[in-house]
Amino acid sequence: MALVNSLYSQAAKGALCKAFGVRLVANPSVVQLAKNSGFDALFIDLEHSTLSINDASLLCMAGLQIGITPFVRVPHQCGNGFVQRVMDGGAMGAAVTISKYPPFGCRSMTGQLPIFELRSTLANTIIDETNAHGSSVLLMIETRDSVDKVEEIAAVDGVDVLLIGSNDLAIELGVPGQFESSEFRNALEKVSQACQKNNKIFGLAGIYDAPKIQSWALNTLGARFILGQQDSGLLATGGKRCAEAISEVLK
């Protein structure tokens, strides 16, 4: 079977890959809701959540079944073993060497993988299809050091996306929450330029309900991967609006 990866298919058209963040809801029904809403990918967060690897696998498998590409954010310094378990659970994206099979990486081979519908699959097919389509590499740019070394990072073979972690990066730059500041904007411009130079995809995460900044990132800087919102954020804002609307009716 040929693997379909929305990050690659959208990038090939110069289109935007829209990701839905999951950090709270373990029920796979949330995946169908994300698909119905028009998102192309999942961004399952195992760094800032209590979701387990098993939760992530169930979400990934649901995504694979209905055609929404699952990516998983792993915790900082979690180790290759953790990343490999996430990938074997159905994720289609992680970090470079452990996400790829030899000769491009050092991922260990196993059978009945979710991305191949748990079917027995020839080893060569697993290697070729996974390395080409089922192992996207998204690197988070969240520190001043990563911005300073972005040319070196962007030049790494096998990296697909440099994804801005907006909140952590702004804090590192000394401008927490100040996404309109020159410090933050200059950093994004530098990352964008490195992506363009090295044919990588520029991505934005952590900035929601801010169309002006999002428009600048998408239309000026050329971002083609964006984390649109997370389940927790949608529940928080939607719940608040609902309660306020009910209170207004009472008046």
pLDDT > 90 fraction of the chain, expressed in percent and rounded: 94
Per-residue pLDDT at 162? 98
Domain spans of the chain, in order of start: 6-250
Distance in angstroms (rounded) separating the CA atoms of residues 28 and 55: 9
Per-residue pLDDT at 95? 74
Residue 22 has pLDDT above 90, yes or no: yes
Residues 113 and 126: beta-carbon distance below 8 Å: yes
Helix or strand run (H / E) with residue 68: none
pLDDT > 70 fraction of the chain, expressed in percent and rounded: 99
Residue 96 has pLDDT above 80, yes or no: no
Active site residue 76: no
pLDDT band at 137 (very low <50, low <70, confident <90, very high): very high
Catalytic residue among 48, 144, 149, 241: 48
pLDDT band at 60 (very low <50, low <70, confident <90, very high): very high
Distance in angstroms (rounded) separating the CA atoms of residues 71 and 208: 19
pLDDT band at 189 (very low <50, low <70, confident <90, very high): very high
Per-residue pLDDT at 1? 60
The DSSP bridge pattern shows strands 69-73 and 161-165 to be unpaired
pLDDT band at 229 (very low <50, low <70, confident <90, very high): very high
Distance in angstroms (rounded) separating the CA atoms of residues 56 and 70: 9
Q: Whole-structure pTM over 0.85, yes or no?
A: yes
Candidate from 86-100, 128-142, 215-229 with smallest mean pLDDT: 86-100
Per-residue pLDDT at 26? 97
Q: What is the CATH architecture of 6-250?
A: Alpha-Beta Barrel (3.20)
